[in-house]
Amino acid sequence: MAGRKEEGRMGGLADRELCAEVLVYVRAFARRPLDIPEDEDLFRRLSIDGDDADEFLEPFAERFGVDMSAYRWCFHHGEEGVNPGAVFFKPPDQRVERIPITLDILVEAARSGRWPVAYPGRRLPKVRWDSWISILIILAPGLALLLWMALAYV
């Protein structure tokens, strides 16, 4: 397969064939036959968020030899699970405009060997206050119980 990766970048593997190979990968991940327009948001269609995105993209990058260092998750999907802190502070994926991951983007990534999306120059906060508040909300009852027990039995 490694030879095919290099061949694709040098023009030996036709884009049509590469598109078919990427489509086979997407269908295998979905575990069902799909008719996918080239500009459809695959992650929305397949309900891919959080860890599912990693489970999709890591093997994709390995199989097609794609450098994912430029990938910024918050532009493409949300997080998994419940985030009570999001009531007070928006998580990163809600602070930016969503950029769909399409078949075209995946084919270009496979062809070029790098993640092809150019992100807007938007800076996100360095501290995830939504996460910190969620942690406090989850830990507060336990800490209160420990404090009560310490005061009650001392």
For residues 39 and 4, the model is more confident at 39
Q: What's the average model confidence in pLDDT over 57-81?
A: 91
Q: Would you give the DSSP letter of residue 114?
A: B
Report, in this order, helix, strand and coil percent for the chain, each rounded to 5.
Answer: 55, 0, 40
pTM here? Answer: 0.72
Q: What pLDDT was estimated at residue 86?
A: 66
Whether the predicted pLDDT of 3 surpasses 50: no
Whether the predicted pLDDT of 85 surpasses 90: no
* Domain-wise residue ranges, the chain: 2-152
Q: What's the average model confidence in pLDDT over 54-78?
A: 94
